Structure 1
Amino acid sequence: MAGKPMLEGKVAVVTGAGGGIGREIALMMAMQGARVVINDLGVSVTGDGGSATPAEQTKAIIEQRGGQAVISTDSVASWDSARNIVQTAIDAFGRIDVVVNNAGILRDVIFHKMTADDWNAVINVHLNGSFYVSRAAAEHFRKQENGAFVHMSSTSGLIGNFGQANYAAAKLGITALSKSIALDMKRYNVRSNCIAPFAWSRMTGSIPAETPEQKARVEKLKQMTPDKNAPMAVFLASDAARDVSGQVFATRLNEIFLMSSPRPIRGVHRADGWTPETIAEHAYPALKAAFMPLDRSGEVFSWDPV
């Protein structure tokens, strides 16, 4: 049933909005009434180069559809430039209500071959970038006693994947950052949630497709277009989600999942304490049955999306 746009009157910053998931979120937020700051450097998947063209394309689409948007080409990966991103919203629209931390790069490589640069580049954009932009916006959210953060996590961090130690560490770190923001800023009516999106985009274009099994998997992934993740982002940014905070959702084609957070699953107690020997003899056998398997995201989400 048609009604009032869910984000009417709100101002949203969407990082990495020049393409893929970020663009689709920016477009849907604009269609739902938000004025949008499109932040994008126009770099390659690995973070090289730079161009304003992707952000300009997103802006053109929003304006063609009757929405309002401005562009920021500042990097999320430093304190000062992240503050510039938020200031762009204040300068253009007078306020900020929503931050979507979506910007990201990939430097996939097997762990024992990963360089310090591979590690730092990914951590700086994903984890540090999410902190810097959120921290800059938090000052405004606190003053107005309202605001919403939507961070992009990944099942690579929540579950695991090959060749992505940097990316997985950053994405799991983002879930802890989000929970901490939710706890610290609850008193100011500020909410913080994560989405672990499934989508075929240039960020997943490097997935191997050599064997028949790999090719079949890639074909399934291609069904999961980036726009399938936008509705959850819009919902979490809206007042309809005023009671939702500190949660992690996964969006997969037409499926939505609420992901668990680590909790104690089995415990053992010994009145006189533990020694390495008694751990080996008693604790280990008692706990072993509840050990988490060494599985990957694709093995946990093993069924075909429909």
Structure 2
Amino acid sequence: MADIDFNGRVAIITGAGGGLGRAHALALAARGAKVVVNDLGGDVHGAGGDASPAQKVVDEITSNGGEAIVDGSDITDAAAVEKLVEDVKGKWGRIDILINNAGILRDKSFAKMELDDVRKVLEVHLMGTVNCTKAVWPVMVEAGYGRILMTTSASGIYGNFGQANYAAAKSGIVGFMNTLAIEGEKKGIHVNSLAPSAATRMTEDLLPQAVLDILQPETISPGALFLVSEAAPTKKILGAGAGVFAVSEMVEAPGVFIPEDARTPEVIAERWNEIADVSKDAAPLGSAFDQTAKYAKLAAKELGIELPG
């Protein structure tokens, strides 16, 4: 297989002053990409601001012969993000890659969680991702090429105690990705998500040191680089951590038609094991409409109705 390189490509990476974002930035730059290192420089809870972490990453890149610039824009500020995109296009003439990586944590059990903790996490993770993606989208449409990588989480896919706000945001990002992958396919824009398990500021107080030692961000970046390369698939969720990579996929059971005269809650309960059986013939769906078509086709077959088309 040919080497994957990013010579001539321009990438914006949010939250790139440390952790995963830093690892992605260094890896992309090492393969020729011009990199925008975006980081507000706040703490893990979203407070404060400091440009020095992002500058250090830029210095690392330039000292190794790469090209990079610092950006301290707040991704929750749509106008600031739009200006960032205009400035990058003015400087380098293009934007090929966006990695939405920035995030914060405000972990508490839902009973103890303040609504502001929910709003702030949604604003940074979900709306920050939306703001950045919205700003680069027309640039990529015009170019007929783009690679957008979202950062979701196992918390958003499977849930995790104490992270109702974070899980809601990360699950929302998956839905956002699924739709944009459909809308971007004919425009040459591929959209994927990374679900990382990494030793970062956001996990250092949650995991034992022995686990953190093998979950270094650098073990994840190869997956990120593949998902923003020319060879990237689209509409995929890639779990990654400690050098392990696995695709996560939402699938649906084949479906059980229940006739109208038997369509009661009691029958649903009685046939629940059959309805919930994903051990055979379960499959992913391409879109919401595919689910509608599946149900209509199954019902029509059972009812002896011929559907058009």
Query: Which secondary structure state, in structure 1, belongs to the residue aligned with residue 239 of structure 2?
Result: strand
Select which of 242, 245, 256 maps to 2:234: 245
Superposed counterparts of 1:82-231, under 5 Å: 82-207=81-206, 215=208, 218-231=209-222
Counterparts of 2:79 and 2:262 in 1: how far apart (Å)? 50
In structure 2, the partner of 1:56 is 55
Query: Which secondary structure state, in structure 1, belongs to the residue aligned with residue 111 of structure 2?
Result: helix
Residues 256, 275 of structure 2: 8 Å contact kept:
yes
Counterparts of 1:289 and 1:189 in 2: how far apart (Å)? 37
In structure 2, the partner of 1:20 is 19
TM superposition score normalised by structure 2: 0.85
Counterparts of 1:200 and 1:12 in 2: how far apart (Å)? 23
Instruction: List per-residue Cα deviations over 1:104-131 (Å, max 9, x = no partner).
Output: 0000010111111100111011111111
Q: Runs of 5+ in structure 1 lacking a partner? A: 209-214, 292-306
Residues 20, 202 of structure 1: 8 Å contact kept:
yes
Counterparts of 1:60 and 1:70 in 2: how far apart (Å)? 9
Give the letter for the 1:121 counterpart. K
TM superposition score normalised by structure 1: 0.86
Residues 39, 85 of structure 1: 8 Å contact kept:
no
Change (3 A) 1:180 1:285: closer
In structure 1, the partner of 2:305 is none
Give the letter for the 1:227 counterpart. E
Give the letter for the 1:226 counterpart. P
Counterparts of 1:264 and 1:77 in 2: how far apart (Å)? 38
Give the letter for the 1:18 counterpart. G
Greater Rg over alpha carbons, structure: 2
Work out the number of aligned pairs and report it.
Answer: 279
Shift of 1:198: 1.2
RCO (CA 8 Å, sep 6+): is it higher in 1 or 2? 1
Instruction: List per-residue Cα deviations over 1:47-82 (Å, max 9, x = no partner).
Output: 001000111011000001100011111111132122
Query: Which secondary structure state, in structure 2, belongs to the residue aligned with residue 187 of structure 1?
Result: helix
**Percent identity between the aligned chains?**
35
Residues 268, 283 of structure 1: 8 Å contact kept:
no
Change (3 A) 1:286 1:186: closer
Residues 7, 237 of structure 1: 8 Å contact kept:
no
Shift of 1:287: 4.0
